[in-house]
Each structure stands twice: as C-alpha cells, then as structure tokens.
Structure 1
Amino acid sequence: MANSFWISILSASIALIVLVALAMIVYYFVNLKGMKKRRGHFETLHQSLQKGQQVIFSNGLYGEVSAVRDETVDIKVKSGAIITVSRFAISEIIK
C-alpha cells in the first residue's frame, strides 16, 4: 500500500513537470515572434538615421542628429551641446 502511494506521487510529479515544460515551450515561441518583430523595427530605425532628424533616447532625452557614424551618433541637445552616443541608445525617430 505504501508503495502505491509513492508511485502515485511520482506520477503526479512527472505530469506536473511535463505541463510546466510545455507551458515554458509555448511561452518561448509566443515571445520569439514578438522579439523578432521588435528586432526588425530597431534594425530599420538604426539604419535609417540621418542628419537633422529629431530622436528620443531610451532614457527619455530628446535631441537632433548632427552626424551619423558606424557605431555612434552625434546628437545636438537643446542647450546646443553636441554629445556622442551609441546609435543603439536611440529608441524612436520623431521627425
């Protein structure tokens, strides 16, 4: 009798592990589609940077693109200062 008790606990545990694993796999594939879409959006955004565009950084700062290089962008902020940032810090092009 004690043996059947442990067998039922083991089978319930295995079933739970299988269900959790299936849920994780479904979650991964659902999020994979969204991640690919976001990655494509940001690749297009970073490749289309041009001088004179108004941009927003990921931390909320606004500025105007004054020069574009391979990995960095020079941004003119409201005070007139020009700062050099990674082009990947830009999250949106306003105009």
Structure 2
Amino acid sequence: MLYAAAGGGGGGSLMPLLMIALLFGVMYFMMIRPQQRRRREAAQMQSALAPGDEVVTIGGLYGTVTGVDDETVLLEVAPGVQTRYARPAIARVVSQAERVESTEPAAAEEAETVKE
C-alpha cells in the first residue's frame, strides 16, 4: 500500500521542473533579450559617430565631436577646449551633423553649369 501511494505521486514531480523552465524562459524574454538589443543599438550609435555630431557623455557632458579614432572620440566642450573620451563613454547623440553623401555628382553639376 505504501508503494501504491508513492507510485501515484511520480507524475507530479514533472510540474516543478516545468515551472522552473517557464521561469527561466520569462527571465530570458523580459531581461536578457532587451539588454542585448540595447547593447547592440549603443554599439551601432558609437560606431556611427562622425565629426559635427552633438553628443552627451555618460557623465552628462555635452559636446561636439571634432575627431574620431578607433577607440576614442575628441569632443569640443567649449570654444577651443577639446577633450578625449573612449567611445563607450558616449551615451547618446543629441543631433547628427549633416552628412555629404557624395560630392562627385554636385561637382559634375557645377562643371556643367559653368560650361553653359
């Protein structure tokens, strides 16, 4: 009789394992995936930095990008005052400088206008 009671409870031991698996699944979708996405977006933003962009550092310092290196960014924080920061220290871009896509078509149009 004792064995019969123990044998009937064997199917219920699967439920706690399912609950633990469900908990890990929820943690993955609620915490880990959004953090990976934010990290990926930050890396894209930092790799797209270019001179003329206005940025904010993680310390709250506003500046304009004047130079970009592989690992560092040169910021002008006041007229004539430049400081060097690591790329990961840039928290966000406030405004991007207008990028000139290609100057060759514009130069060709100017040359045609001058010939006429």
TM-score between both structures, scaled by the size of structure 2: 0.60
Corresponding residue of 1:51: 51
**Structure 2 counterparts to residues 63-78 of structure 1, below 5 A:** 63-78=63-78
Corresponding residue of 2:87: 87
**Structure 2 counterparts to residues 25-40 of structure 1, below 5 A:** 26-40=26-40
Q: Which amino acid aligns with 2:67?
A: A
Q: Which amino acid aligns with 1:46?
A: Q
Number of residue pairs matched by the alignment: 95
User: C-alpha displacement at 1:60, in angstroms?
Assistant: 0.7
1:37-84 deviation digits (Å, cap 9, x = unpaired): 101210110111000110000111000001000000111102531111
Gap runs ≥5 in structure 2: 1-14, 96-116
Indicate the percent of aligned positions where both proteins have the same amino acid: 31
SS in 1 for 2:78: coil
**How many angstroms apart in 2 are the aligned matches of 1:80 and 1:63?**
12
Please tell me whether Structure 1 or Structure 2 has the larger radius of gyration of its CA atoms.
2
**How many angstroms apart in 2 are the aligned matches of 1:19 and 1:26?**
10
**How many angstroms apart in 1 are the aligned matches of 2:91 and 2:38?**
11
**How many angstroms apart in 2 are the aligned matches of 1:84 and 1:34?**
30
Gap runs ≥5 in structure 1: 1-14
SS in 2 for 1:77: strand
